[in-house]
Amino acid sequence: MTGNLSRRSFLKSTAAVGLGCAAELGGIARAPAAEIINFATWSAAVDTVKSHLAAFEAKTGIKVNYSNLPWAQYRETMITKFVGNAPIDTLWVSDSWLPEWADAGWLVPIDQYKTLTAYNADASDFCNQSMIYKGRQYGLTYYTDYMGFIYDNELLQKAGIASPPTTWAEVADQAKTVKSKGLSEWPVLISLAQETWLIEFLSAMVFSHGGRFVDDNGNAVMQDGGALSALRWLVDAVHKHKILSPSCVETGELAGLKTFSSGQHAFGLIPKYRLRTLNDPSQSQIAGRAMLALMPQGEGGSHATVGWMRFYGMTPRAQADTTRAENTVKLIEWFGGKADGEYRFQKLLFKDVGAAFGVKSLFNDPEMREAYKAYGDVDLIGKQQALARKKDVISPWFGEWNDVNGASWQQAVLGKVTPEQALKTSAAKWAELKKQS
Amino acid sequence: MTTSAGFARRPTPTTGLSYDERRAYLFLTPLAAVLMGIAVFPILYSFYVSLYSIKLTRPQRAPFVWLDNYVVVLSDPQFWGAVERTVIFSVIAVAAILVLALLVALLLNEEFPGRRVLSALLLIPWAIPYVANALMWKWIYDSNYGALNGILYQLDFIDTYMVWLGDADKTLALIANAFVWKEVPLAAILLLVGLKTIPADLYSAAKVDGANVVKRFLHVTLPALGPSFALVLIYETMMAIRHFDLFFILTEGGPGDASHVVAWRIYVETFRNLSFGTGAAMSYILALATLALSYVFIRALAQRVTT
């Protein structure tokens, strides 16, 4: 018998034994897993999440296994977990990762759950768009925000400027006035360090100049039009007008926030939710002076800005079991929709950490309006949010292209290549990656 | 005793190994097994991975591509750009380390008050973890609130704050400076050990022959330091070529591609793009290049010693 045991039959039998063991172990794991929902997030508002989870468990009796990871390692760690078939049912997802994760089969559409899609009517348009991939919806809003144009009102008044700029040309003019009066060495702040925020800063510039990186068919159009105008404005701001520091290429979002809050700049592209920090006396030297204006428009552009969102996604594991799927939907709705008849988690997030919301009706909520009033013009904030657009470069190859694109913009800003060359490089990389995919 | 020892050393007819040899192999087996598991297997496995088009975000498809990953990497102009920057960084850093470490070693080889305190202080940069070192230099170099700008401004060397890491022409040199600051102490200690082994008789004989300080340094100290120099040269070259931490923390490869060195590209390809196949291929190319360079250094040194 031993003599007849071929390599193939040995492999078959060991594989069968292995599969049998796996099935047994899977069976053991499934029993309790049908009751416990596995919920993964990055490490933000952890205490708020925990308290809201406790309320969910108390109300529904559904147990939730909650885990969180640092944002910096979240994508890579979650991908490793997906590949290793780690038990995850629902999780926070960035809009930047949706195509990659959906194509890999790690996320499943949720549009068959009407209790979840019912919230679409009350969500900002770019939020809904950001959760749709290949015509299917993959989640429900967790948090959303957009890139804001923020100015230091006191600096403008000192410079004799009556109202904030409405175009990028006016930004340059007013910044030169501020600089000429010795009020600021570098009146404009735009953080262009190579980090995850970079695409948001660039997209805000491009959209407000009436441009796009990619058209509706997914073809690169960044090499001319609004994108080129936006990059030219940045290059001129550094080299011609000297209103934007060359060090912008080493300034990240957080470092930029610190310098803006120390009163070094008159104008800045800053995530809108930072308004709260900028107007908080315990964290900012310009408290009470930071104000939002509509995104300036470039020639042929508009007041459009870029919006981003994070949402609750669902895994195939959750959907594979009817009870588990139902429980997961309940959990997603508890966080992303209404809990006990109100958007409780969005309110908690907003009040606790200032995280913005994609729910339109909350802009009319007296409680939220009152909270916003402390540091911003709620109507203007809502108006700008309505003009926010989703990033057009989100694709399965976004990460790889983003590295090249960021480096190309930086090189143009540093004067190493022309804006045309930089965007040509970026467009060529997009085309190459698209073709490869 | 003779009988038992003779019996123990006698090879067995079946294995051809003596009792002592078999016992030695037996004792070495656990260590060899551990090394196989934690060193040899990963090395071989990473080579195996480099022959596949493995991308973690595309888990359903991982075709065997022979040496295509190596071809892709070697035909990528960005990779060769990274090689060029790695060479520039390594040459600047290693040259500076050798010169500074030699000066420090010569100083510490002399007797003077405070020598022991200075020796202890010298070790501080070496004792600081690389990440902490990188964060410290990030603060020093910061263009808005960095200590370097602060000092230069207060001393009236500059009228306005300078852009340091954001200036692509300065980036590599500034990172090399941070690397040198960290590495000089170890190199100095290695050279100091070499200096201590030079017999005093050689200096006495040179003095008798009328050699002045410079001549004694050129004809006695430097030749005798050859092996120590070679050790420092090989070690620091390998460290510089493979260095990653400072690039990660100080610039993340930027601005533009000014600090895209090979180690950084391997990180991006493997851990950001999650392309394990090409990442492993790049790692192998870097490892082979480092080995080849070390071999050349060792051969060159051996030739100098024999001649």
Q: What is the ipTM of this complex?
A: 0.77
C-alpha distances (whole Å) from B205 to each of B126, B196, B208, B226 are: 37, 17, 5, 20
Of B58, B255, B272, the CB nearest to A249: B255
Please give the average per-residue pLDDT across A239-246, as a whole number: 95
Question: Based on the domain organization, do B113 and B29 belong to the same domain?
Answer: no
pLDDT tens digit sequence for B25-44: 999 999 999 999 999 999 99
pLDDT along chain B (307 residues), means of 10: 49 74 92 94 94 89 92 94 96 97 94 89 90 94 90 91 88 96 95 92 90 90 89 93 94 89 95 93 94 88 67
Cβ contact, residue pair A250, B143, below 8 Å = yes
| Structural domain includes residue B52 | no
pLDDT tens digit sequence for A1-21: 333 444 444 444 444 444 444
| Structural domain includes residue B57 | no
| Structural domain includes residue B162 | yes
Question: Based on the domain organization, do B148 and B244 belong to the same domain?
Answer: yes
Residue carrying the six token digits 């492999």:
A11
Question: Based on the domain organization, do B18 and B162 belong to the same domain?
Answer: no
Q: Which residues of chain A neighbour B257 with C-beta distances below 8 Å?
A: 407, 411
Phi, psi of A51 (to 5 degrees): -70, -35
- pLDDT at position B11, please? 61
According to DSSP, residue A214 is labeled B
* Domain count across chain B: 2
Question: Based on the domain organization, do B145 and B279 belong to the same domain?
Answer: yes
The alpha-carbon gap from B120 to the nearest alpha carbon of chain A, in Å, equals 35
Cβ contact, residue pair A79, B252, below 8 Å = no
- pLDDT at position B13, please? 61
| Structural domain includes residue B63 | no
- pLDDT at position A19, please? 40
Q: Which residues of chain B neighbour A251 with C-beta distances below 8 Å?
A: 143-144, 166
Please give the average per-residue pLDDT across A71-98, as a whole number: 93
Total-model pTM? 0.82
| Structural domain includes residue B201 | yes
Distance, in Å, from the CA atom of A415 to the CA atom of B218, rounded to the nearest integer, reads 46
Question: Based on the domain organization, do B265 and B154 belong to the same domain?
Answer: yes
Question: Based on the domain organization, do B169 and B280 belong to the same domain?
Answer: yes
Distance, in Å, from the CA atom of B165 to the CA atom of B142, rounded to the nearest integer, reads 7
Alpha helices in chain B, H assignment, sequence order: 2-9, 19-35, 41-50, 68-74, 77-108, 115-127, 130-141, 147-154, 171-196, 200-208, 213-216, 222-224, 226-242, 245-246, 262-267, 276-306
Question: Based on the domain organization, do B161 and B256 belong to the same domain?
Answer: yes
In order of their start, the domains of chain A are 34-144+308-372 (3.40.190.10), 146-306+392-436 (3.40.190.10)
Phi, psi of A40 (to 5 degrees): -115, 135
Cβ contact, residue pair B274, A105, below 8 Å = no
Distance, in Å, from the CA atom of A50 to the CA atom of A373, rounded to the nearest integer, reads 28
Touching B: A residues 226-245, CB under 8 Å: 245
DSSP β-bridge partners for residue A293: A149
Distance, in Å, from the CA atom of B189 to the CA atom of B105, rounded to the nearest integer, reads 7
pLDDT tens digit sequence for A326-338: 999 999 999 999 9
Question: Based on the domain organization, do B34 and B122 belong to the same domain?
Answer: no
Q: Which of B269, B261, B267 is nearest to B289 (CA)?
A: B261
Do A280 and A287 meet the contact criterion of CB atoms below 8 Å apart? yes
Report CA dihedral (B212, B217, B221, B227) to the nearest 10 degrees. Answer: -160
Counting residues of chain A whose pLDDT is more than 70, the rounded percentage is 92
Question: Based on the domain organization, do B134 and B10 belong to the same domain?
Answer: no
Q: Which residues of B touch A (CB under 8 A)?
A: 56-60, 142-145, 160-161, 163-168, 251-257, 260, 268, 271-274
Task: Give the structural domain span for B146.
Answer: 68-306
| Structural domain includes residue B209 | yes
Report CA dihedral (B128, B132, B134, B138) to the nearest 10 degrees. Answer: -130
| Structural domain includes residue B51 | no
| Structural domain includes residue B222 | yes
pLDDT tens digit sequence for B100-144: 999 999 999 988 899 889 888 988 999 999 999 999 999 999 988
Q: Produce one character per residue of A253-270: b if its CB has 16 or more CB atoms within 10 Å, e if not.
A: bebbbbbbbebbbbbbbb
Question: Based on the domain organization, do B104 and B27 belong to the same domain?
Answer: no
Of A83, A195, A250, the CB nearest to B165: A250
- CATH number of the domain within which B133 lies: 1.10.3720.10
Please give the average per-residue pLDDT across A82-92, as a whole number: 95
Question: Based on the domain organization, do B97 and B176 belong to the same domain?
Answer: yes
Mean pLDDT score across all residues of chain A: 90
- pLDDT at position A30, please? 39
Question: Based on the domain organization, do B15 and B86 belong to the same domain?
Answer: no
Nearest residue of chain A to residue B252 (CA atoms) = A194
